[in-house]
């Protein structure tokens, strides 16, 4: 469906200019609608797909317009060549703003875009030598004699080019959102910690998204130049930024064709109402209010077929899922200490997890188990000591690097993307199998398609393995708690782990579910995966684990088989001390 939508726009690029041959007004409006649609598409990329609200996308739009205009007027470039170059500064600005925002947070993006647009507006208004300020940069109509020799007039091929650019941009975005890169945006939007744990570099993918969004907005701005022909600082105005944001919301956030409908509305409706010029803005506002009240999910909801394809899970292969894990390495920690302010959460812990081991880490409340796991998986950097995996130091501050080397963790509070299906969640997690470059996702050659097929197969195998076959096409948000836990394990498995660290996977599970979990973990070990488990459920842990490590008040207390640990007087004392509870004692006895 999404493809046929794009094909339709391509067909329009051929038909419309011919159909509107004698009508510069309507073809001009169509071109303007295409430009606004492209601008909305760009805003939607960050607002819809990344979850970063932008209050200043006009910064990119205006920069694209000015870049094209300056290349033409100051450097004598052909406009159509300048059109190709104009998105570059906007992309660079996007990367810059994106880099700062991705590190400090989404709110910063809202501020940064808003103020950057305002700064650029002030610069454009006052840098007289360069932009002629409010006098405006005058650009000639970029007529192409070669095309006109075929009998076409300017407004015809201008419309054709606008529609072609729009179709091309839509195809780019379509390919990306269906690729590992685009799927990672959905995960990052939900939780960047989850994304990092699955090997997705959140900062980098955000920068890629925002740079691309900037480039598309810059392209829209450059395309706008032949329509306006006078470039004024108003191209950076907050009104324009608001228009972009409203187009994305009105059309339908995080949908491919929503911004197109929004752009169409914003371009056409006020013009269609010209015959009542006096009241047209008021009526436009009324219609807007009415539409939003009737259909809050955006215009795209009026046309369900345009809402985008639901990614259906492929058929399950017959028989047992075939999953293979990469040979593991030894994870070892030496002298780990982590302090938070004056509090020492973990102190001088040295431990090792050997390949194909199933190790449990237990300890009373406040023993530092989760801190320890965060240190082991690279989510926290130690104050002292080091963690190595297969001899390679787990670098701090970039958990995705740890995930990349095969060290995958899960979270105590289950993290999934609730608005995506089980299959989509797990498929997104296959990112780590082989991270794809943006270019590969755009070109989609045979090798890439083969890898995509492998990723799909892997996702299906993981879903089957955790017993969620019947749930593959259900929304993750609709799963009951126990299945949600299983889903997060499936996602972790899809991330191609060599060593899996599970943070309290049995918390909140009932007896049957806990048993199923035990079975699953043993099976994983048998399949060659190394597993480390943190949990409170001592009964399950004692029965399950090859070896148990006991932590108490941030220190390593004991390590050994279940029997050895159970007999250790220090362990008994720790469990009978503060933080002790009946269930624990029962399991120990």
Report which of 437, 425, 336 is spatially closest to residue 377, judged by C-alpha positions: 336
The reply on whether position 111 binds another protein by CB under 8 A is yes
386 binds another protein (CB under 8 A): no
Q: Is 114 in the site for another protein (CB under 8 A)?
A: yes
Which residue reads 């209050």 in tokens?
55
Contacts for 302-305 with beta carbons within 8 Å, 24 or more apart?
303/261, 305/1
Residue closer to another protein by CB (options 100, 442) is 100
Within 39-78, which residues bind another protein (CB under 8 A)? 55
Q: Which is nearer to another protein, 127 or 326 (CB)?
A: 127
- Whether the Cβ atoms of residue 362 and residue 550 lie closer than 8 Å to each other: yes
- The neighbouring-strand residues paired with 374 are none
Choose the stretch contacting another protein; rule: CB under 8 A; options: 66-74, 110-118, 324-332, 518-526.
110-118
Please check whether residue 529 is in contact with residue 462, taking contact to mean a CB–CB distance below 8 angstroms.
no
Q: Which two tokens stand for residue 274?
A: 């010209």
Stretch that binds another protein, among 277-285, 407-415, 482-490, 524-532 (CB under 8 A): 277-285
Minimum CB distance to another protein smaller for 276 or for 446: 276
Q: Is residue 381 within 8 Å of 509, Cβ to Cβ?
A: no
Taken in order 91, 93, 96, 97, the sign of the CA dihedral is negative
Q: Which is nearer to another protein, 192 or 537 (CB)?
A: 192
How many other CB atoms sit within 10 Å of the CB of residue 139? 20
> Residue written as tokens 């990119």?
60
Choose, by CB under 8 A, the member of 18, 81, 286, 322 that binds another protein: 286
User: Which two structure tokens, joined as six digits, stand for 5?
Assistant: 């939508």
Q: Is 129 a binder of another protein (CB under 8 A)?
A: no
**Per CB under 8 A, 453 contacts another protein:** no
Separation CA 364–CA 145 (nearest Å): 81
Stretch that binds another protein, among 206-214, 275-283, 348-356, 473-481 (CB under 8 A): 275-283
Among residue numbers 23 through 42, which ones bind another protein (CB under 8 A)? 23-25, 28-29, 32
**With respect to another protein, which residue has the nearer C-beta, 80 or 108?**
108
* Interaction of residue 105 with another protein, rule CB under 8 A: yes
Within positions 294 to 313, which residues make up the interface with another protein, using CB under 8 A? 294-297, 302
Q: Which of 529, 538, 467 is nearest to 501 (CA)?
A: 529
Residue from 3, 74, 141, 470 that binds another protein (CB under 8 A)? 141
Residues 504-563 binding another protein (CB under 8 A) are none
Tell me if 492 sits within 8 A of 323, measured CB to CB. no
- What's the min distance (Å) between Cβ of 398 and another protein? 19
Residues 216-255 that bind another protein (CB under 8 A): 224, 227-230, 232, 234, 238, 242, 245-246, 249-250, 253
Q: Is 576 in the site for another protein (CB under 8 A)?
A: no
For 164, other C-beta atoms within 10 Å of its C-beta total 17
């Amino acid at each position: 469906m999404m493809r046929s939508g794009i094909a339709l726009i391509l067909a329009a690029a051929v038909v419309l200019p011919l159909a509107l041959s004698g009508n510069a007004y309507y073809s001009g409006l169509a071109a303007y609608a295409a430009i606004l649609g492209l601008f909305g598409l760009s805003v939607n990329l960050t607002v819809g797909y990344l979850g970063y609200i932008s209050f200043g996308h006009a910064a990119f739009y205006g920069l694209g317009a000015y870049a094209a205009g300056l290349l033409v007027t100051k450097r004598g470039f052909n406009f159509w060549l300048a059109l190709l170059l104009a998105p570059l500064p906007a992309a660079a600005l996007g990367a810059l703003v994106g880099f700062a925002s991705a590190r400090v947070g989404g709110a910063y993006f809202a501020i940064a875009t808003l103020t950057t647009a305002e700064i650029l507006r002030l610069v454009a208004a006052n840098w007289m030598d360069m932009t002629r300020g409010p006098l405006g940069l005058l650009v000639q109509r970029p007529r192409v004699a070669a095309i006109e020799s075929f009998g076409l007039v300017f407004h015809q091929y201008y419309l054709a080019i606008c529609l072609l650019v729009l179709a091309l941009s839509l195809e780019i975005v379509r390919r990306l959102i269906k690729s590992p890169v685009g799927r990672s945006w959905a995960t990052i939007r939900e939780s960047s910690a989850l994304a990092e744990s699955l090997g997705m570099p959140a900062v980098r993918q955000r920068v890629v998204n925002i740079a691309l969004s900037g480039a598309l907005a810059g392209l829209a701005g450059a395309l706008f130049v032949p329509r306006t022909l006078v470039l004024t600082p108003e191209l950076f105005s907050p009104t324009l930024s608001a228009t972009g944001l409203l187009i994305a919301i009105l059309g339908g956030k995080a949908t491919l064709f929503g911004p197109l409908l929004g752009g169409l509305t914003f371009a056409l409706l006020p013009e269609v109402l010209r015959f009542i010029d006096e009241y047209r803005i008021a009526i436009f506002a009324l219609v807007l209010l009415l539409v939003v009240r009737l259909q809050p999910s955006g215009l795209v909801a009026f046309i369900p077929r345009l809402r985008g394809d639901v990614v259906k899970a492929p058929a399950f292969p017959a028989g047992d899922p075939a999953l293979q894990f990469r040979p593991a390495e030894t994870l070892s920690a030496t002298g780990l200490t982590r302090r938070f302010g004056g509090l020492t959460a973990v102190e001088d812990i040295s431990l090792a997890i050997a390949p194909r081991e199933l190790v449990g880490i237990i300890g009373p409340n406040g023993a530092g188990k989760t801190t320890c796991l965060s240190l082991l998986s690279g989510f926290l950097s130690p104050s002292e000591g080091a963690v190595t995996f297969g001899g390679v130091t787990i670098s701090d501050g970039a958990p995705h690097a740890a995930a990349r080397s095969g060290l995958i963790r899960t979270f105590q509070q289950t993290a999934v993307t609730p608005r995506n299906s089980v299959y989509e969640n797990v498929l997104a997690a296959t990112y780590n199998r082989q991270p794809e470059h943006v270019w590969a996702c755009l070109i989609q050659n045979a090798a890439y398609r083969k890898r995509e097929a492998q990723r799909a197969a892997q996702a299906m195998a993981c879903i089957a393995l955790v017993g969620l076959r019947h749930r593959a096409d259900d929304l993750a948000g609709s799963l009951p708690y126990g299945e949600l836990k299983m889903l997060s394990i499936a996602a972790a498995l899809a991330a191609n782990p060599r060593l899996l660290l599970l943070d309290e996977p049995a918390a909140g599970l009932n007896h049957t579910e806990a048993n199923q979990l035990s079975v699953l973990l043993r099976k994983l070990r048998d399949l060659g995966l190394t597993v480390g488990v943190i949990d409170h459920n001592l009964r399950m842990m004692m029965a399950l684990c090859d070896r148990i490590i006991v932590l108490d008040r941030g220190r390593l207390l004991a390590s050994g088989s279940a029997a050895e640990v159970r007999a250790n007087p220090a362990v008994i004392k720790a469990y009978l001390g503060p933080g002790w509870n009946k269930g624990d004692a029962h399991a120990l006895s």
